[in-house]
Amino acid sequence: MTNRSTSRFRRAAAVIAGIAAASVALSGCLYAMIPEQTSRPSTTSAPDTEGVSEDLLPFYSQELEWTDCGPGFDCTDVTAPLDWENPSAGDITLSVVRHRAQGTPVGSLLTNPGGPGASGVDLVQNNLTFAVGADLIENYDVIGFDPRGVGASTAVTCYDAPEMDEYLYGIPAAARGTAEWEAELLEAHKGFAEACDANSGGILPYITTVNAARDMDLIRAVLGDTQLNYLGYSYGTFLGATYAKLYPEKAGRLVLDGAIDPAVPGLEVGATQALGFESALRAYMQDCLDSGECPFNGSVDEAMTDLGALLASVDRTPLKNGDGRLMGADSLMTGIIAALYSQDNWGYLTQALDEALQGDPGSAFFLADFYNGREDGVYIDNSTEAFRAYNCMDYPVEDDPAAEAAIDDKIAEGAPTIAPYWSGPDSCEVWPYPPTGTRGEITAEGAGPILVIGTTNDPATPYEWSESLADQLEEGVLITRVGEGHTGYNKGNTCVDDAVEAFLLDDVVPEDGLRCE
């Protein structure tokens, strides 16, 4: 994600962290829980085992045991095959939480917050009203789950907190861009990868989006649903589209918000995101200058030049934090990126940059820590580890120096402020297992209408990706949210919210190309 975890495109792809990570407002005001409810029995319909092969029947026929885990919530574990191609080779555990419908449920709604590596259990259990609107809470059993490798499910485990601090925040000894710098970072990536392999119990080869999509079908079935209703954000759109490709006949009402284009190669992913964040940074800077309280002056171009000078200064001379950590330019860039996920966070970014100009990295560290899941010196999730595991298995390794040079030139020209801190050695070069994923269009023939939401100045999943995915899908329906920030549903745009909820609740398909100002 940052600094020693930097990779040529995967550092860029790291910012597909989803709404449960950096796109939520840092004030925490969006974390409000719904009012307490009267407890009622935790029940599940009989598992849907129609058409299930004999070797998978023990998994699909399992009966869930639910336990109360908060007002209106219950929790369970689902047992899934470690290897879907060889179900007898062992199993893993998937952690699932359900918020029971306040009214009469119309079915289950699975959700995914993105990542890869964000916790769906945390999203639903701690941020329910941010994940879904009130009408969906009223009428659906809202389901959150930690995908394989993530959180409370059978998880990828790599480093302890001090080791992770060094990996994410450590300052390389060699000068940026030199062969020694590249070698130093690659060695750090190798140490991280070896630790993941040693500490994860043999699961790394099976941490893939295809397997996670198969796990979703299992969850659907053991909940007793004959079709999957799904709301996926950011990386969750790739997971949802993959599900529709694998199980078109089981795809119910799917909403993919902040889409990833599954056909874009990894190198191009990084370039598109770099340009997206540069665009978002310029929008922030204009707002900052207009506010009258900006630490920068002049035009947007002049202010961006001054921000570049700040980053270069921090790169030369890192800033010391009160806890003894040093902030280099990569960590400062991580903090900037974290704040750009939502316009609600721009005020925090102004504070962080103002303090950094005065030599105090405290607020910038707060932003970077928030992005990295670090709290009071402890990592509260394994999002970094799971993110790396998924991407290194999902994306084919690209070894084309000419293509890499062209991408670097594109980023340097289109994102000059971000470019110096964007690229680096590919961390997946040293991953212990070869990737099994492919890049290509997803049509999901036979899946029925699928809603795709794109926001026009979304930095993490640029709008063009939503346009492309909607075009690829046999029955893709594009909804455009005009505005800033990552993802579009439940962000205060009534036009988007009404269209999504009419589709999920009443199966009303909006007009393709609906534009919500």
Catalytic amino acids? 234, 458, 486
Q: Is 486 helix (H, G, I), strand (E, B) or coil?
A: coil
Cα separation, 326 vs 318, in Å, equals 6
Structure tokens at 352: 């962080």
Residue where the block lists tokens 């040293």: 430
Q: Is the distance from CB of 83 to CB of 55 less than 8 angstroms?
A: no
Q: Is 387 helix (H, G, I), strand (E, B) or coil?
A: helix
Q: What angle do CA 170, 393, 88 make, to 5 degrees?
A: 125
* Strand runs labelled E in 304-418: 319-320, 326-327, 374-375, 378-379
| DSSP states along 56-121 | THHHHTPPP--EE-STTEEEEEEEEES-TTSGGG-EEEEEEEEE--SSS---EEEEE--TTT--HH
Cα separation, 168 vs 3, in Å, equals 6
Residue where the block lists tokens 């920030």: 485
Answer positive or negative: Cα dihedral of 129, 130, 134, 138: negative
Cα separation, 17 vs 36, in Å, equals 30
Cα separation, 160 vs 228, in Å, equals 37
Cis check: omega of the bond before 116, within 30 degrees of 0: yes
Cα separation, 488 vs 497, in Å, equals 8
Angstrom distances, CA of residue 131 to CA of 67, 128, 148, 234:
22, 5, 20, 12
H or E segment and range at residue 484: strand 476-484
Cα separation, 376 vs 374, in Å, equals 7
Residue where the block lists tokens 């020209």: 413
Answer positive or negative: Cα dihedral of 86, 236, 106, 146: positive
